[in-house]
Amino acid sequence: MENRRRRQPALAPDERRAALIAATIPLLHEHGVEVSTRQIATAAGVAEGTIFGVFSNKNELVVCSVVKALDVQPTLDALAAIDPAAALRVRLLAAAEIVHARFTENASLMHAARRLIITGDSSPEARDRMTSTRGQLMTAVTEVLEPDAARLRVSPAKAARLLLLYCGANTFGPFGDSEQFSGSELASLLLDGILIDEGEQAKCS
């Protein structure tokens, strides 16, 4: 006997939208933005037509799902949880790993966001929300560095920008495909540069 899809109980429109978005996000990671409404409906346990009862079209559902998947708040919370009393190197390493993980785990969705949302005009509200993420990340990383502002050659804000540039280029740049740096390596590069410390080198001679 043919197995029938187990239908979900009736939900309020907002709840249905949230359930469809939750079902769509894993599919976006697996299939990209070309995921079909049939795949989404199967994952959500609803009829395909149910999607269009709460979303005007597939693009609206995909845009809402990308925005939800790239919600910056968990990243901001993780950065805020870094102990401000810890050593600068420890804090910077932790911040680099958090930002690096966000970028690498969501690289494909960030590409999709740029194409569908940031450079498109289908959803100005979603575009504003996505572009504001950059400033929020900048502020959060800056706050991690501020306790040691007097020790830095540049302002904490400029150091934060450099870290974000490193992490972004590492993930999205043309030289980041074959062998990416880890977050800890990027933190060390930012703090120490690429020259061997002459004092340390003399001790080893």
Answer yes or no: is pLDDT of 195 > 60. Answer: yes
Instruction: Compare 31 and 11 and report the one with higher pLDDT.
Output: 31
Reported as a single tens digit per residue, the pLDDT across 18-69 is 999 999 999 999 998 889 999 999 999 999 999 999 999 998 999 899 889 9
Contact of 32 with 112, CB cutoff 8 Å: yes
pTM, rounded to two decimals: 0.80
> 165-188 pLDDT, tens per residue?
999 888 887 766 567 788 889 999
204 has a pLDDT exceeding 60: no
Helix (H, G, I), strand (E, B) or coil at 86: coil
Q: In the chain, pLDDT over 90 holds for what percent of residues?
A: 57
- Give the integer Cα–Cα distance in Å for 96 and 115: 26
Number of helices and strands (H, E) in the chain?
A: 11, 0
Beta-carbon contacts of residue 97 (< 8 Å; ≥ 6 apart): 182, 183, 184, 187
- In the three-class reduction of DSSP (H, G, I as helix; E, B as strand; rest coil), residue 5 is classed as coil
- What is the phi-psi region of residue 3: left when phi exceeds 0, alpha when psi lies from -120 to 50, beta otherwise? beta
